[in-house]
Amino acid sequence: MSFKSGFISIVGRPNAGKSTLINQLVKQKVAIISDKPQTTRDAIIAVRTTPNDQMIFIDTPGIHKPKHRLGDRMNQTSFSHFKGVDVIYYVMDGSEEIGKGDEFVIKRLESTKLPVFLIINKIDKMSQDELLLRIETLKDRGFKEIIPISASDHKNLDTLVDVTLQYLEEGPMYYPEDQVSAYPEQFIMAEIIREKVIRLTEEEIPHSVAVAIEKIVRKKNTTVVSAVIMVERPSQKGIIIGKQGQMIRKIGQYAREELETLLQMPIFLETHVKVEKDWRNKAKMLNQLGYIEPEDE
C-alpha cells in the first residue's frame, strides 16, 4: 500500500477553534488553548502519523486588525502559510456572524491556487437551519470542500481527515512516527507557562505577556528551568505576582505539573516577572522572543 504525506495550513480569525482542532487531530496537546483571542502567536507544527500516511498541520495565529508590531508579525506569519503547503483549512466559528474580518481573509484565500477547505467549526452551537444557511452563503466562494465540524466534540473530524487524504499524494515520512510536534523543548515550556498566566490572570494581562526560558540545567534527579514572564506595565507585574506572591506560585505550580506530565521528568521551575514597556512594538525585543518577521511572499 502506498504511503501519503502532506502539509496542511490551518488559518482563520481569532477564537475560531484552530488550536483545539489541531490538538484533537493529533490526539495530544501541542497548542495552548484559551478563550482569549490571539492566544496563538506563532505557527505551531503538529504531526499525525498512521501506518498509511503522515499529515503535518501548521496552526497559525488568528488573523486580526493589528494594533502593534507583534500583531503585524502574527498576521504575516499566517499569510506566509497561504503557500508552500498541500491544503489550507480556513476555520470559521460557525456560531458567529460572518464579519468584515472573515471577508478579508476569504478574499485573500480566493487568490491562491491551492485547495482551500472551509471548516465550519462549533456546529454544536448551531441549529441545522443556521448551518445550512452558512453553507449556502459561502458555497460559491472557491472552497474545494465545506466540512462542518465540532472540534471540541470531535464531530466529523474523521471525515475531515479522510477527505484531506484524497488531496495528498504519495510522499515520504517527514518526521519520526512517534513525533507529534516539531518545536524544541524551550518553546513548549514557554508556551505552557504563558497558558497558565492567561488562564489565571485578569483581562488586561493576556495580550501583553510573553514568556522566555532563560536557562535549563539538568541535574541527576531533576531539571531546573528558569523562566521570565514579561509584561508592559508595573500594575501587570503586581497582578501576576499577586498578594503575597500567591498568583505567581499558582502559575508556577500548574505549569510545573503539566511540564512534568508532558516531558516525563521532575521539574524545578523558577519564575520571575520583568516589566518591559511597550515590548510588543520593539523589533529587537520581538526578535529576541522568537517572533521573527517572515520573509516577504
Q: What are phi and psi of 224, to 5 degrees?
A: -95, 125
Q: What is the pLDDT of residue 292?
A: 55
Asked if residue 293 belongs to a domain, the reply is: no
CATH of residue 267: 3.30.300.20
Whether 257 and 227 map to the same domain: the answer is yes
Separation in Å, CA 208 to CA 17, 34, 73, 167, 205: 21, 15, 15, 40, 6
pLDDT in tens, the chain (297 residues): 689 999 898 888 877 888 889 889 988 776 654 444 444 445 678 889 999 999 989 877 655 444 444 544 544 555 454 557 899 999 999 999 888 878 888 888 888 888 999 999 999 999 999 999 999 999 999 999 999 999 999 999 999 999 999 999 999 888 888 878 766 677 778 888 888 888 888 665 656 788 888 888 888 888 899 998 988 888 889 989 999 999 999 999 999 998 888 777 889 999 999 888 877 776 676 666 666 555 544
Select from 170, 199, 233 the last residue of a domain. 170
Q: How many domains does the chain have?
A: 2
51 and 143 share one domain: yes
Residue 5 contacts residue 56 (beta carbons within 8 Å): yes
- The SS3 of residue 150 is strand
- What's the pLDDT at 81? 45
Q: Are residues 123 and 42 in the same domain?
A: yes
Identify the pLDDT of residue 294: 53
- Which of 142, 154, 85, 152 is CA-nearest to residue 117? 142
Is 180 within a domain? no
CA distance 279 to 71: 12
Q: How high is the pLDDT of residue 44?
A: 74
Question: Is there a single domain that holds both residue 162 and residue 27?
Answer: yes
Per the structure, the complete domain to which residue 191 belongs is given by 185-288
pLDDT for the residue numbered 68:
44
